[in-house]
Each structure stands twice: as structure tokens, then as C-alpha cells.
């Protein structure tokens, strides 16, 4: 049994209120024993002064590429989980586009066993919709579900055959599984490397038109309506794509969707110097898309924020822009970058961030949220809004450093993370796993 922990003088963020409430938080036996101002310290308690800091329910990311098995030079389950913890994330859902893909019950079991033995935060896995992610025939969805897969997706690729996706939606409906869709019309994307538009023409880089994503979103949601299935649209990047989702939601289709921080923070103009850290799929669109996606997030059209954390080696990202792989890391920078760009500027509040990056991701997968409330699980972080985080190689715990924030400073810092009633990250003391 660990000693009680008392956090004194902090302000508490919650999904259901815009204001931060000043209160102390007492943690005992892995649970939150009390939340109130002026709490006395129990005998033997460790008292932590968190005056001026914010206590926030820990984040949860439903779109993470961990690369293991197959590409452990990019990321492992262990390193990815450490990166998550470094960014205030205490639960992650791994995508199945590994080498080999996670398309059977045996592969799900293998990954879950690795996570149990090596991860520093809980890691769940998704399974493929089709065998080998080839889009031709259904994978062992029931077996993977039985072994613990909590979502099914061919992420990185669409299910191009509409009949296969319809059958998958109908089949998954029988046991309440979630299918997630990477929406892309491959014939339109071609060899494109960035958003098709003014900037791609100026730079002479082949473009990916936004309609490549939008046509597939419309198709997949039409199939979900016919199949009466449940579908989740991943990494929406265009305003028109968002509006298509709005229409289907209003029509009663069971659809949820996510937006990634990079599609809120960056646009195709940031690629002016061919920096491959800005190359991702779907690509960065326009400043107008940024603004409209942000409004969609604020009004509640987007159910969750998810990073699409996609690590690549330095060697791969140092190639020519057209040849470099798509993807950036995000687990370690999502929370601080969203605070730096949006919360500090009063574009939205802590309540929205907690709802969309902590509570709703957990609900999406059928898990309970972790509010900082009496009797609840002690799973929260201590955030210093006045500190500065320099995102460099000494800060990062991911094996890959392909982030646009590399060697930049962001306002705000995840100082401590509590999970199961214990401090598992303690930055002021220099203890980062």
C-alpha cells in the first residue's frame, strides 16, 4: 500500500464546466479520496504543492502507430508508451498496419502480451478489417474481437472494394464492433505528396486533391447507412469532408469522427521549404480548412481528438519530399501544442480538451472517463501553464523525432502524471521513464 498523496493549491479542469475550480486533491489506495479546498494532510501523506498549476484528467489517444512488430527501428510498444506518458497520455490504441499486419486473433494476442510486459501505460490494439490489409477478403474479426481487439481498421489504406466494406459493417454490427475508416480514393491520390492547390503548383510537387478524401467519406457513410453499421472516420482533414459527416450524422447514421492536432495547427503553406516533417496523409490542407475544422471541433461535430502518431526514422524523413514517407509524431506534443495555440489564446477552453482528448476517446471504446472527482480513479496530470517545453531530442521518448515542433519551444508543461494512485512521471524531480 502506497502512502496517501495530497495535491495542494491547484485548479481542476473538467469536461462539463468551462471554469477551473480551486481545490486540493487527496489520493489514497489508487482512488481519489477527496476533492475540496483546504484539505488536511492525513498521517504519512506526501504533500505536493501544485499552486498555480492545473490538474487535468489524463489523455487517451485512439489513433497511434507503434510499428511493432516489424519496424522496431521506428517505434516499439515500450518506446511509444513512454512517449505517450511524456505527453500526459495514459492510454493508447495501436493501429494494425504493422509488418506483418494484425489481422488474426493470434496477432492480437501477441501484441497484447507484448504490451502487458513492456508498456508503461495501457495499450489496446485494433485489428485489420481485411486480410493483410489488402482489401480483398475479411480478416478474422470475431477471433480478434475475442482476443481483445477494440476497433477494426485498415488504416493507412482504405477498403477500396465497397462490397467488402459493406459486408464488414454488417458483420461487425452483430457483435457491436467499431469499424474505423481511412478515407482515400487511391486513383485520385496517385503519387501525390501534398495537398493539391496553389502551393503544390508553386512548389512543383504532385498534389492529392481533397476530393480524394471527401468522395471516400461519402461512400463509406452511405455504406454504413445501408448496413446499419457503426463507423468511425479517421483523421478528417478538409472542411467539405467534415460537412459530409455532418449531413450523415443529421440523417441518423452511426458515425463518429476524429480530427488530428496537425490538421488544426498547420496548413500547406508551411511546406514552403520542403520540410518533410509537414508531410502527412491525409495532407495538410488550407488555412481555411484549419479554421473550419476548428469550428467543427468547438461545436461538437468532431467526437475526439487523435494524433495519428506516425514515427519514421531520421534516414527516411531526410529524403526528397516526394520520396519521404507520410506521417509525423504527436503523442508528446499534442497536449502542449493545443494549449499553446488555442487555450492560451482563448480559442477554446480546458473543458473542450478534456472532453475530446480524454473523456470521449475512452467512451468511444467503451471505457469509463477519469474525471478528477471523489471516488474516481486517480488518473490525472499536473500541468504548468507558465512553464516552457523545448521539444528536442532530450525531451522526446519516441524513437523517432519527425515532428514539426522539433527544436521549438511551446508554452506549457506536463509536470507530473498520476496513474493508479502513483506518480508515474515527475518532471521537476527529473524522473521521466
**66 and 207, same structural domain?**
yes
What is the per-residue pLDDT across 366-389, written as a single tens digit (0 to 9) for each? 999 999 999 999 999 999 999 999
Q: Of the residues 220, 303, 308, 340, which is catalytic? A: 308
Does residue 391 lie within any of the structural domains? no
| CA dist list (Å): 114 to 97, 118, 125, 390 | 16, 6, 11, 31
**219 and 110, same structural domain?**
yes
Residue tagged 459493406 (cell numbers):
166
**172 and 24, same structural domain?**
no
- Summarize the confidence of residues 166-171 as an average pLDDT: 97
Going by C-beta distance under 8 Å and a sequence separation of 6 or more, which residues neighbour residue 135? 154, 157, 158, 159, 160, 161, 164
H or E stretch including 19? strand 17-22
- Summarize the confidence of residues 195-222 as an average pLDDT: 98
CA–CA gap between residue 410 and residue 261 (Å, rounded)? 14
- Summarize the confidence of residues 105-122 as an average pLDDT: 97
**Residue among 256, 265, 257 nearest 236 (CA):** 257
User: Residue 201 pairs with which residues in a beta bridge?
Assistant: none
Residue tagged 507484448 (cell numbers):
114
Determine the pLDDT at residue 1: 65
Number of domains, the chain: 2
CA–CA gap between residue 136 and residue 138 (Å, rounded)? 7
Does residue 392 lie within any of the structural domains? no
- Give how far the C-alpha of residue 114 lies from the chain's centroid of Cα atoms, to the nearest Å: 21
**125 and 82, same structural domain?**
yes
Q: Are 198 and 26 in contact (CB under 8 A)?
A: no
CA–CA gap between residue 406 and residue 64 (Å, rounded)? 19
**172 and 215, same structural domain?**
yes
**348 and 319, same structural domain?**
yes
**85 and 14, same structural domain?**
no
**184 and 305, same structural domain?**
yes
**106 and 20, same structural domain?**
no
C-alpha cell of residue 241: 469532408
What is the per-residue pLDDT across 349-372, written as a single tens digit (0 to 9) for each? 999 999 999 999 999 999 999 999
Whether residue 430 has pLDDT greater than 60: no
Length of the chain counted residue by residue:
433
- Give how far the C-alpha of residue 349 lies from the chain's centroid of Cα atoms, to the nearest Å: 19
Determine the pLDDT at residue 403: 97
C-alpha cell of residue 122: 495501457
Determine the pLDDT at residue 2: 82
Burial of 329 (0-12, 13-18, 19+ CB in 10 A): buried
DSSP 3-state of 398: coil
Residue 5 φ/ψ, nearest 5 degrees: -120, 130
- Summarize the confidence of residues 260-283 as an average pLDDT: 97
CA–CA gap between residue 164 and residue 161 (Å, rounded)? 5
Q: What's the CATH code of the domain at 9?
A: 2.30.40.10
CA–CA gap between residue 196 and residue 211 (Å, rounded)? 10
Does residue 395 lie within any of the structural domains? no
Whether residue 395 has pLDDT greater than 50: yes
Does residue 396 lie within any of the structural domains? no
Q: What's the CATH code of the domain at 125?
A: 3.20.20.140
- Phi-psi map region of 176: left, alpha, beta (phi>0 left; psi -120 to 50 alpha): left
- Summarize the confidence of residues 89-93 as an average pLDDT: 98
**306 and 166, same structural domain?**
yes
Determine the pLDDT at residue 175: 86
Domain holding 287, by residue range, is 57-364
Does residue 296 lie within any of the structural domains? yes
Active site residue 392: no
> What is the pTM for the complete model shown?
0.97
Angle at alpha carbon of residue 245, lines to 239 and 248, rounded to 5°: 145
Whether residue 433 has pLDDT greater than 70: no
Does residue 433 lie within any of the structural domains? no
Average pLDDT, the chain: 96
Determine the pLDDT at residue 98: 98
Determine the pLDDT at residue 214: 98
**413 and 354, same structural domain?**
no
Whether residue 392 has pLDDT greater than 50: yes
Does residue 401 lie within any of the structural domains? no
DSSP string, 411-425: EEEEEEEEETTEEEE
Pairing of strands 194-195, 207-208: parallel
- Summarize the confidence of residues 135-149 as an average pLDDT: 96
**Residue among 202, 261, 273 nearest 410 (CA):** 261
Whether residue 124 has pLDDT greater than 60: yes
Going by pLDDT thresholds of 50, 70 and 90, the confidence category of residue 6 is very high
- Summarize the confidence of residues 75-88 as an average pLDDT: 98
Going by pLDDT thresholds of 50, 70 and 90, the confidence category of residue 82 is very high
**309 and 227, same structural domain?**
yes
**Share of residues in the chain with pLDDT > 70 (%):** 98
- Summarize the confidence of residues 188-203 as an average pLDDT: 97
Does residue 403 lie within any of the structural domains? no
- Summarize the confidence of residues 189-211 as an average pLDDT: 97
Amino acid at each position: 500500500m502506497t502512502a496517501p498523496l495530497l495535491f495542494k493549491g491547484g485548479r481542476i479542469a473538467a469536461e462539463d464546466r468551462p471554469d477551473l475550480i480551486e481545490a486540493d486533491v487527496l489520493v489514497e489506495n489508487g482512488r481519489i479520496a477527496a476533492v475540496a479546498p483546504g484539505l488536511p494532510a492525513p498521517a504519512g501523506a506526501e504533500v505536493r504543492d501544485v499552486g498555480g498549476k492545473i490538474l487535468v484528467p489524463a489523455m487517451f489517444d485512439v489513433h497511434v502507430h507503434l510499428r511493432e512488430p516489424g519496424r522496431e527501428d521506428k517505434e516499439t510498444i515500450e518506446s511509444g508508451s513512454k512517449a505517450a506518458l511524456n505527453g500526459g497520455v495514459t492510454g493508447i490504441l495501436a493501429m494494425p498496419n504493422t509488418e506483418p499486419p494484425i489481422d488474426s486473433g493470434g496477432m492480437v494476442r501477441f501484441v497484447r502480451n507484448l504490451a502487458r510486459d513492456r508498456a508503461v501505460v495501457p495499450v489496446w490494439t485494433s485489428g485489420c478489417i481485411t486480410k493483410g490489409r489488402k482489401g480483398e477478403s475479411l480478416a478474422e474479426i470475431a477471433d480478434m474481437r475475442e482476443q481483445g481487439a477494440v476497433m477494426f481498421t485498415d488504416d493507412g489504406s482504405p477498403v477500396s472494394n465497397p462490397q467488402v466494406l459493406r459486408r464488414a459493417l454488417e458483420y461487425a454490427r452483430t457483435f457491436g464492433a467499431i469499424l474505423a475508416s481511412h478515407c482515400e480514393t487511391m486513383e485520385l491520390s496517385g503519387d501525390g505528396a501534398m495537398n493539391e492547390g496553389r502551393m503544390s503548383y508553386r512548389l512543383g510537387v504532385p498534389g492529392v486533391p481533397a476530393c480524394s478524401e471527401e468522395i471516400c467519406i461519402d461512400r463509406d457513410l452511405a455504406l454504413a447507412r445501408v448496413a446499419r453499421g457503426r463507423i468511425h472516420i479517421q483523421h478528417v482533414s478538409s472542411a467539405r469532408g467534415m460537412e459530409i459527416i455532418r449531413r450523415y450524422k443529421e440523417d441518423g447514421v452511426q458515425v463518429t469522427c476524429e480530427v488530428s492536432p496537425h490538421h488544426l495547427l498547420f496548413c500547406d503553406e508551411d511546406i514552403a521549404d520542403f520540410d518533410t516533417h509537414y508531410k502527412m496523409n491525409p495532407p495538410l490542407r488550407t488555412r481555411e480548412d484549419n479554421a473550419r475544422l476548428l469550428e467543427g471541433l468547438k461545436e461538437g461535430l468532431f467526437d475526439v481528438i487523435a494524433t495519428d502518431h506516425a514515427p519514421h526514422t531520421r534516414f527516411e524523413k531526410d529524403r526528397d519530399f516526394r520520396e519521404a514517407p507520410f506521417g509525423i509524431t504527436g503523442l508528446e506534443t499534442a497536449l502542449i501544442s493545443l494549449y499553446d495555440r488555442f487555450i492560451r489564446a482563448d480559442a477554446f477552453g480546458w473543458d473542450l480538451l478534456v472532453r475530446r482528448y480524454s473523456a470521449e476517446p475512452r467512451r468511444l471504446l467503451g471505457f469509463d472517463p477519469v474525471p478528477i472527482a471523489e471516488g474516481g480513479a486517480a488518473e490525472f496530470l499536473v500541468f504548468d501553464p507558465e512553464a516552457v517545453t523545448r521539444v528536442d531530442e532530450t525531451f522526446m521518448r519516441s524513437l523517432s523525432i519527425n515532428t514539426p515542433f522539433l527544436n521549438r519551444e511551446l508554452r506549457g508543461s506536463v509536470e507530473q502524471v498520476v496513474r493508479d494512485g502513483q506518480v508515474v512521471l515527475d518532471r521537476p524531480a527529473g524522473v521521466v521513464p
